[in-house]
Structure 1
Amino acid sequence: MPIRADEVMQLFCHLSREKGMQAAVKHSGRGALLAGATAFIGGLVGGPPGIAVGGAFGGLLGAWMTTGQFRPVPQILLELPPDEQQKLYDEALVILRSLDWTDVAQLTALVMGNAAIQQKLLGVLVNYLTKELRAEIQYAE
C-alpha cells in the first residue's frame, strides 16, 4: 500500500513519543543579529566605547537566546513546513518500502514490534534533527 507523508509523520511522532525525545532548536542567526544590532546601537550612543559595551552585552544576550528550549519532538515534526516533511518522508520511505501493511495503525504496530526498524527510523529522525535543524536532542529518563 502506498504510504503518505502525513502517515510517516504520525509514525515518527509515535516513535519519538515512545522514546521520550525532546529537542532544542538553536537560533544562532537571531543571536548574531542581536549582537550586531546592540553593537551598532552602542556605537551610535557611546562612540567607540559604546561599540565595545553594546557588542559585549549583545553577545551575552545572543548567547542566551541561542540556547533553545527543549520541546517534544512530535510538536516540532508537526510544525515542519511541507517541504521539510517531504525530506524526512523520502528518507523514511527507503526503510518502510519493504513492509506490508494496510493502515497507519498496522504500520505503527509493525514498526514498534521490530527493534531493528525502530533503530533505523530513529537514526533517520535523529540525523534529520541534528543536521537539518541543528537541534540538540535529549531523551526522557
Structure 2
Amino acid sequence: MPVDVEEFLRGLAILADNQNMRVTLKQSGKGAAICGAICFVGGLVAGPLGLAVGGTIGGVTAYKCLSNFRTVGDIIRNDLTQEEKWRLHEHVVNSVRHLHPTDVAMLMPLIMNTPSLQEAVLKTIVSFVTNEMRYTIANN
C-alpha cells in the first residue's frame, strides 16, 4: 500500500507535538510602530529620560503583544499548501529512504519507537520549516 500523505503528515504533526516544537511568528512592522509610538510619547512627557524609559517600555510591550508561538504540529495540520505537504513528505521519506517505506502502518510506529529515526525526522522537519517556510524555531 502506498504511503498516504495526509496520514503520514498527521503522524509527523504528532511527533512534532510530542517534542513541543514551536515556531515564533513575528510582525516587525507593527512592533516597530508600537515601540516608536511609546518612545515618542515618553519623550514628549519626560524629555530625554522619557525617551529611554519609553523605548524600553515600548520594546517590551511590542515583544509581549506580537511575538506569538504556534506549534509545528499545528502548522503541519493547518497551514501547509498541498505542494508544501508533498514536499515535506518527500523530504522526510528521503531522510529515511534506507527503510524503503511503503506502508504508513509500518513506517510511523517504526519512527515513533526508534529515537535515532525520530531525530532524523525531526531534523528534517526543522530544516523544512526554517528553510522552505521561513519560520523561526523557538527554543524549548
Could you tell me the TM-score, scaled by structure 2's length?
0.64
Q: Give the aligned partner of residue 124 of structure 1.
A: 124
Q: 1:78 to 1:36 in 2, by over 3 A?
A: farther
Aligned residue number for residue 91 of structure 2:
91
- Partners of 1:27 and 1:65 within 8 A in 2: no
Q: Equivalents in 1 of 2:78, 2:44: separation in Å?
A: 42
The alignment's C-alpha RMSD in Å is 3.6
The amino acid that maps onto 2:136 is: R
In structure 2, distance between residues paired with 1:35 and 1:20? 34
Partner secondary structure for residue 68 of structure 2? coil
Cα deviations across residues 43-100 of structure 1 (Å, max 9, x unaligned)?
A: 9x949x499365444222112235434x543223213231544443342131244423
CA apart distance, 1:113: 3.9
Residue in structure 1 matched with residue 79 of structure 2 by the alignment: 80
SS at match of 2:125: helix
Q: In structure 2, how many angstroms separate the alpha carbons of the residues matched to 1:134 and 1:101? A: 32
Task: Report the residue type matching 1:81 in the other structure.
Answer: L
1:134 aligns with 2:136: yes
Q: How many residues align?
A: 133
Q: Distance in 1 between matches of 2:119 and 2:106?
A: 18
**Displacement after TM superposition at 1:3 (Å):** 3.6
Separation in 2 of the partners of 1:128 and 1:32? 29
Q: CA deviation at 1:136?
A: 0.8
Q: Distance in 1 between matches of 2:113 and 2:19?
A: 17
Structure-2 separation of matches of 1:46 and 1:87: 52
- Summarize the Cα distance change of 1:75–1:127 in structure 2 as closer, same or farther, 3 Å threshold: same
Counterpart for residue 23 of structure 1: 22
Cα shift at 1:16: 2.4
Query: How has the CA–CA distance of structure 1 residues 33 and 89 changed in structure 2, closer, same or farther, with 3 Å as cutoff?
Result: farther
Structure 2 residue runs of 5 or longer lacking an equivalent are none
SS in 2 for 1:21: coil
Aligned-partner Cα distance in 2 for 1:16–1:119: 11
Amino acid at match of 1:100: P
SS of 1:75's partner is helix
Could you state the TM-score of these two structures normalised by the residue count of structure 1?
0.64
Query: Percent of aligned positions with the same letter in both sequences?
Result: 23
